[in-house]
Amino acid sequence: MGFIIDLFANKIFFSMFLSFFIASTLKIFTNWIMTDKIEFEVFIRTGGMPSSHAATVISMTTGIYLLEGITSSFIIAVTFALIVISDAIGIRRSAGKQAEIINELMKDTKKRKFKSKILYEILGHTPRQVLAGSIMGIVISYLVFFL
């Protein structure tokens, strides 16, 4: 039990956890606004508004900066954040678009010689979703460190 208390007492971990939790919870509401359906599984899915990946890694990077300044740890965190964000906007978003096209092709195919389930299409993020998550990560880190 002491480990968990120590973990949440760590400001970097706590700001990362809070950023992920708040961003993931907001995805339920933004999805509800867009689809008129409440889907709690959106909390753990990839994609959606805001980006919980961006919120988490930017919160980590901001926390390291606030705690240590511009150190090697901060440079490593920035590099890690850039990789995660470029993956979210680039590779995973492209994979989601491919899944969308494959799903359309599957619907159009009259004779199916093989069985396939519908692919999940929302894998990545738009730049706006990443920006929203990033701003959230910065703000939450500042609140955790200075409140």
Nearest to 93 by CA among 130, 119, 126, 118: 126
Q: How many Cα atoms are found within 13 Å in the side-chain-facing hemisphere of 46?
A: 17
Q: What is the pLDDT along the chain (147 residues), one digit of tens a residue?
A: 788 999 999 999 999 999 999 999 998 888 888 778 887 777 777 777 899 999 999 999 999 999 999 999 999 999 999 998 888 777 666 666 666 676 676 666 655 665 666 655 555 678 888 999 999 999 999 999 999
pLDDT, position 33 = 83
Instruction: Show the tokens assigned to 84.
Output: 């995660």
Contact at 8 Å (CB) between 41 and 47?
Answer: no
Q: How many residues does the chain have?
A: 147
pLDDT, position 88 = 79
Contact at 8 Å (CB) between 10 and 39?
Answer: no
Compute the distance between CA of residue 133 and CA of residue 68 in angstroms, rounded to an integer.
23
The domain spans of the chain are 2-83+127-146
Environment class of 142 (CB within 10 Å of its CB; exposed 0-12, middle 13-18, buried 19+): middle
Compute the distance between CA of residue 70 and CA of residue 120 in angstroms, rounded to an integer.
39
pLDDT, position 123 = 58
